Structure formats: structure tokens, C-alpha cells
């Protein structure tokens, strides 16, 4: 084994390491990206599950319940001003509510879609704003789950309703093309 490793040059080992890293970083999303996509309309008829590929225009968008801020901390202890990097919205589906993570540049369109959704629920016209989504349905992390639970409780969801939802789910958006390309580059480098 040692002799086989020594026969590789440093360059080959570096390519191998980079290839393995790209495969590991992108594998889970890559395999979801090649599954048939589920639309938001489909989620009104079938139960959302972790591992689904969600693609299409966002629908049934309600409130923004959280935002994520990013900043850079400098070595002298100071930091750059915080910027909103993502917003989290609640989405109604078949017998449940889940979350959608959207980048900051989609915020105004999502707010408009949220207002149109409320208007539609009160008997108005159907929403016309389109916000394209391409992502993966996943279980929420602890921090997002706590914020989502606070949101549900503030909107008068009963404990029974919340328990009936099972795992709290979120759609995290990805550039599926970039994920596929990075995964395949990793495979080529390993090969």
C-alpha cells in the first residue's frame, strides 16, 4: 500500500484530494438534483419529505419569520456592518407548513408575493409575482427550528397541530447546475 502511494506524484495526490473534496461536498445535493422535481402545486396534493427536489415558482407564501445576517470580523476585533444574506418564509402545503430560504436579492419579490397571497386568501385575485425556486427539502437545523416554532406559536397553531407536522422542513436553494458541474469535476479529478 505504501509503495502504491509513493508511486503517485504530489500533483496527482493534490488532484485526488481536490476531487474527493468536491465529491463529498456536493454528493448529497447532486443526487437530489437528478431526482424528478416537485413543484409547489404538487405539494398541495402530496406530503413534503426530506430529500425532495423542489423546483418551480414559489406559491402559498406567507410571512417572513426570520432573516440571516452575515458580517466579517477583523483581526483587530472590529467587524463590517451586518448584511442580510437570507430570509426565511413560511409556506403552506398539504396538512403542514414548511419554510423556504431565499437569498436577500429576492426579498422584495417575496414580500410582494406574500402580500398577494394574503389578498388571494381573502377573495382577491391570484398572485402574479413569480419567484423561481430550485432547491432541496431538508430537516431544519436547531436554530431555524426554534425560530419557526416561535412563529407557529405566535400564529395560534396548537400543540397538536405542531406535533402533527412531524419534522420541520425547509427548502434550501442551490444552483443545481453548479452542484452538478462541481460533482462531475470531482469525479474527473479522481478518475
pLDDT digits 0-9 by tens, 111-168: 999 999 999 888 989 899 999 999 999 999 999 999 999 998 888 888 888 888 888 9
pTM of the complete model: 0.81
**pLDDT beyond 90 at 4:** no
**Averaged confidence pLDDT in the chain:** 86
d(CA 157, CA 116): 22
Question: Which pLDDT value is given to residue 88?
Answer: 94
Question: Which pLDDT value is given to residue 3?
Answer: 60
What is the number of other CB atoms lying within 10 angstroms of the CB of residue 18?
A: 14
- Strand order, beta sheet including 53-57: 53-57, 132-139, 169-173, 96-103, 83-93, 61-70
pLDDT digits 0-9 by tens, 18-28: 888 888 898 88
Amino acid at each position: 500500500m505504501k509503495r502504491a502511494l509513493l508511486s503517485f506524484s504530489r500533483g496527482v495526490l493534490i488532484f485526488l484530494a481536490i476531487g474527493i473534496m468536491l465529491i463529498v461536498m456536493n454528493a448529497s445535493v447532486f443526487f437530489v438534483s437528478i431526482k424528478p422535481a416537485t413543484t409547489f402545486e404538487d405539494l398541495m396534493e402530496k406530503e413534503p419529505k426530506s430529500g425532495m427536489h423542489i423546483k418551480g415558482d414559489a406559491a402559498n407564501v406567507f410571512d417572513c419569520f426570520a432573516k440571516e445576517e452575515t458580517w466579517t470580523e477583523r483581526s483587530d476585533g472590529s467587524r463590517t456592518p451586518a448584511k442580510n444574506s437570507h430570509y426565511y418564509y413560511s409556506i403552506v402545503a398539504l396538512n403542514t407548513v414548511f419554510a423556504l430560504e431565499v437569498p436577500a436579492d429576492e426579498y422584495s419579490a417575496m414580500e410582494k408575493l406574500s402580500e398577494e397571497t394574503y389578498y388571494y386568501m381573502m377573495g382577491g385575485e391570484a398572485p402574479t409575482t413569480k419567484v423561481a425556486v430550485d432547491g432541496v427539502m431538508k430537516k431544519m437545523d436547531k436554530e431555524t427550528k426554534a425560530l419557526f416554532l416561535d412563529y407557529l406559536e405566535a400564529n395560534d397553531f396548537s400543540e397538536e397541530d405542531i406535533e402533527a407536522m412531524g419534522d420541520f422542513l425547509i427548502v434550501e436553494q442551490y444552483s443545481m447546475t453548479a452542484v452538478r458541474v462541481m460533482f462531475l469535476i470531482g469525479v474527473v479529478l479522481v478518475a
